[in-house]
């Protein structure tokens, strides 16, 4: 269980949602007006099953990473309308009867069941990420907060994973997006879910504290331009880290070295002008952080290196050459391998382009494009009624939903890759290893295939048992989720994951569920009349 941000909370030891603004009022008004209409009709306790799923993978890709589950569980574990919230609702719905508000104030989620795919899993369209069962009026109240907690979380985790895939495993990926995120907790969520999706660290201090994510940062252009020259530096002494040695005038040391480098045969011509305020800023920063110095070198064009996306490949290669030349010229072992970080408006495309050009960048700092999911700013998870009082329900217009409370499995092939996800009716037997099974496209009758799975995983586990006797799945730590996510990505067949023309992963239903969908569909759909 991750650390509690807001105290232990009330629900079975599950902490409250990370953001204290996530309350039962964080929902659409129509959830409350519907709850009233259900209550008025005496239907509010009808047992309903809803699926939370999406219809299309984001970013033109063929996979998605599921994020946001822990926050959903925290939300329902602590779901309770306060008296002041009820007072507000009374004022917002003045025509509703008193009995309804008494009912509302009695609601909690003790009779709600939540089944979900583990957070950090690779997931696909149409397969429910979560199945939520309980009294229809209560489940409707959960719709908006659940979607709000899952949509962006899954989107930005997927975006981070895509950046990791293109950057490769050896690079350091730093999330620098707080200032450009969609509001403060857009920034905080981004830091959390980018880490989950494979980033190494964030610049966001609050996220570091809340989630235990590594934090990174050095200095900005303003720091550089705040210095006028070397006279700004008052205290010039620098002690070695074990205290055994002390340099009385680090500024002179820097100046001497600068002269030596300029004179060195192999480096002649590389160095021209030095901007003195820049030199003062770097020297001052080195005095403050002698063990973790990293200079931002493009405040003035005077610096020979400019970390900009346009020239980044070339500049990183030149910088590397220069570092290596210093190592050789002066015998500083390791100097050639000094870190080169790049951080200017980077995204999947620019990293891909850098890879193709060849570069010497060790670490990428990525902000705007990553955290705002600039290439596609929203994921369209929906929350659909699939069963009420054991009666299957279907929504036909536009996108047809798959009716019934279902079970979902991932079937693996001989080479260890996942082959297909299959949804079955709740009471159908689970697919068996080594047994041939017909997998059908849910809506297209000509698309079907036999599969003999070598390994079968049931996808959804019980994260909130309600009044059922299912054991409750523990919520793993962020590092466990991150490792799991990296592991899942490694297990996928590479052609599903590639950036260009990825192969769609197959999602199917059992023959029995297929027949039932189509029986229901014909039953509900009207026969048109051409005029």
Residues 155-184 that bind its own copies (CB under 8 A): 155-156, 176, 178-184
102 touches its own copies (CB under 8 A): no
Range in contact with its own copies (rule: CB under 8 A) among 19-27, 317-325, 465-473, 508-516:
19-27
Pairwise CA distance, residues 262 & 283, whole Å: 18
Strands 448-451 and 437-440: antiparallel
Toward its own copies, which CB reaches closer, 26 or 486? 26
Residue linked to tokens 């490769």? 168
Toward its own copies, which CB reaches closer, 304 or 465? 304
Toward its own copies, which CB reaches closer, 177 or 453? 177
Reduced to 3 states (helix: H, G, I; strand: E, B; else coil), residue 462 is: strand
Map residues 270-289 to x or -, x wherever contact with its own copies holds by CB under 8 A.
Answer: --xx-x--------xx-xxx
Toward its own copies, which CB reaches closer, 232 or 362? 232
Sequence-ordered alpha helix ranges (H) in 93-135: 98-106
Map residues 425-464 to x or -, x wherever contact with its own copies holds by CB under 8 A.
Answer: ----------------------------------------
189 touches its own copies (CB under 8 A): yes
Site residues (CB under 8 A) for its own copies, limited to 38-67: 38, 40-43, 46, 48, 50
Residue from 98, 169, 222, 334 in contact with its own copies (CB under 8 A): 222
The token pair that represents 56 in the structure block: 């299309």
Residue from 1, 3, 8, 29 in contact with its own copies (CB under 8 A): 29
Residue linked to tokens 């010497």? 360
Pairwise CA distance, residues 81 & 436, whole Å: 50
Toward its own copies, which CB reaches closer, 381 or 404? 381
Q: Indicate the burial class of 500 (C-beta count within 10 angstroms; 0-12, 13-18, 19 or more).
A: exposed
Residue from 1, 3, 228, 433 in contact with its own copies (CB under 8 A): 228
Give, as one character, the DSSP assignment of residue 415: T
* Angle CA 137–143–148, to nearest 5: 155
Site residues (CB under 8 A) for its own copies, limited to 357-376: 368, 372-374
- Check the CA dihedral 266-270-272-275 and report its sign: negative
Write down the least CB distance from residue 42 to its own copies, Å: 5
Residue linked to tokens 């997931």? 123
Q: Could you tell me how many residues make up the chain?
A: 531
Range in contact with its own copies (rule: CB under 8 A) among 15-23, 124-132, 251-259, 471-479:
15-23
Number of residues engaging its own copies in binding (CB under 8 A) = 124
Range in contact with its own copies (rule: CB under 8 A) among 21-29, 54-62, 330-338, 355-363:
21-29
The answer to whether 158 touches 65, Cβ cutoff 8 Å, is yes
Residue from 69, 109, 233, 346 in contact with its own copies (CB under 8 A): 233
Write down the least CB distance from residue 155 to its own copies, Å: 8
The token pair that represents 490 in the structure block: 């490694």
Range in contact with its own copies (rule: CB under 8 A) among 107-115, 391-399, 446-454, 478-486:
391-399
Write down the least CB distance from residue 365 to its own copies, Å: 10
For residue 113, the cross-strand partners are 133
Site residues (CB under 8 A) for its own copies, limited to 505-524: 524
Picking from 360, 379, 397, 383, the residue whose alpha carbon sits closest to that of residue 141 is 383
Write down the least CB distance from residue 100 to its own copies, Å: 9
Pairwise CA distance, residues 102 & 116, whole Å: 31
Write down the least CB distance from residue 143 to its own copies, Å: 8
Toward its own copies, which CB reaches closer, 187 or 476? 187
Pairwise CA distance, residues 232 & 67, whole Å: 48
Residue 120: phi and psi, rounded to 5, are 90, 0
Write down the least CB distance from residue 324 to its own copies, Å: 20
218 touches its own copies (CB under 8 A): yes
Write down the least CB distance from residue 411 to its own copies, Å: 31
Write down the least CB distance from residue 187 to its own copies, Å: 6
Distances (CA, A) of 245 to 132, 240, 331: 65, 5, 21
Beta strands in 352-447 (DSSP E): 363-366, 382-388, 391-392, 406-412, 418-425, 437-440
Site residues (CB under 8 A) for its own copies, limited to 393-422: 393-398
User: Where on the phi/psi map is residue 426: left (φ > 0), alpha (ψ -120 to 50), or beta?
Assistant: alpha
Write down the least CB distance from residue 495 to its own copies, Å: 29
Site residues (CB under 8 A) for its own copies, limited to 467-496: none
255 touches its own copies (CB under 8 A): no
Reduced to 3 states (helix: H, G, I; strand: E, B; else coil), residue 148 is: helix
The token pair that represents 254 in the structure block: 């820097």
Q: For residue 9, what are the contacts with CB-CB under 8 A and spacing of at least 6?
A: 15, 16, 74, 77, 78
Give, as one character, the DSSP assignment of residue 215: B
Write down the least CB distance from residue 286 to its own copies, Å: 9
The token pair that represents 429 in the structure block: 């037997």
340 touches its own copies (CB under 8 A): no
258 touches its own copies (CB under 8 A): no
Residue from 4, 9, 10, 26 in contact with its own copies (CB under 8 A): 26
The token pair that represents 427 in the structure block: 């009471």
């Amino acid at each position: 269980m991750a650390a509690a941000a807001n105290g232990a909370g009330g629900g079975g030891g599950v902490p409250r949602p990370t953001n204290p603004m996530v309350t039962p009022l964080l929902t659409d008004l129509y959830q409350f007006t519907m709850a009233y209409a259900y209550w008025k009709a005496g239907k509010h306790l009808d047992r309903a099953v809803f699926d939370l799923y999406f219809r299309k993978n984001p970013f033109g890709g063929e996979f998605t990473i599921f994020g946001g589950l822990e926050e959903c569980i925290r939300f329902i574990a602590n779901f309770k309308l306060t008296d002041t919230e009820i007072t507000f609702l009374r004022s917002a719905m003045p025509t509703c009867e008193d009995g309804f508000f008494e009912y509302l104030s009695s609601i909690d989620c003790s009779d709600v069941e939540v089944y979900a795919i583990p957070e950090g899993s690779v997931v696909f369209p149409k397969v429910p990420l979560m199945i939520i069962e309980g009294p229809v009026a209560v489940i409707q109240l959960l719709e908006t907060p659940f979607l709000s907690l899952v949509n962006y979380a899954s989107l930005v985790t997927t975006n981070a994973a895509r950046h990791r895939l293109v950057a490769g495993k050896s690079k350091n990926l730093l999330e620098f997006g707080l200032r450009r995120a969609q509001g403060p907790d857009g920034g905080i969520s981004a830091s959390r879910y980018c880490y989950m999706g494979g980033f190494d660290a964030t610049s966001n201090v609050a996220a570091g504290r809340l989630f235990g994510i590594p934090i990174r940062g050095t200095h900005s252009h303003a720091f550089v331009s705040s210095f006028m020259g070397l006279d700004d530096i008052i205290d010039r002494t620098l002690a070695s880290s074990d205290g055994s040695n002390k340099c009385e005038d680090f500024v002179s040391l820097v100046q001497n070295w600068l002269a030596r480098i300029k004179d060195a045969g192999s480096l002649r011509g590389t160095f021209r002008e030095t901007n003195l305020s820049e030199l003062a800023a770097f020297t001052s920063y080195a005095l403050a952080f002698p063990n973790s110095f990293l200079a931002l070198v493009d405040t003035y064009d005077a610096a020979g290196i400019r970390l900009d996306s346009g020239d980044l490949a070339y500049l990183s290669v030149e910088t590397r050459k220069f570092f290596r030349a210093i190592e050789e010229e002066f015998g500083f072992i390791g100097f050639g391998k000094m870190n080169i970080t790049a951080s200017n408006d980077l995204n999947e495309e620019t990293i891909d382009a850098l890879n193709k050009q060849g570069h010497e960048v060790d670490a990428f700092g990525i902000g705007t494009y990553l955290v705002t999911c600039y290439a596609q700013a929203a994921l369209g998870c929906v929350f659909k009624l699939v069963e009420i009082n054991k009666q299957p329900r279907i929504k036909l217009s536009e996108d047809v939903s798959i009716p019934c409370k279902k079970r979902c499995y991932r079937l693996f092939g001989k080479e260890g890759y996942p082959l297909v996800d299959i949804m079955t009716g709740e009471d159908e037997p689970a697919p068996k290893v080594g047994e041939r099974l017909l997998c059908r496209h849910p809506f297209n009758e000509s698309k079907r295939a036999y599969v003999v799975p070598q390994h079968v995983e049931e996808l959804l586990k019980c994260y909130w048992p309600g009044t059922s006797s299912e054991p409750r799945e523990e919520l793993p730590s962020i590092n466990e989720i991150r490792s799991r996510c990296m592991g899942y990505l490694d297990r996928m067949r590479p052609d599903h994951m590639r950036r260009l023309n990825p192969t769609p992963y197959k999602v199917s239903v059992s023959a029995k569920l297929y027949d039932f969908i189509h029986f229901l569909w014909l039953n509900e759909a009207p026969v048109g009349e051409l005029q």
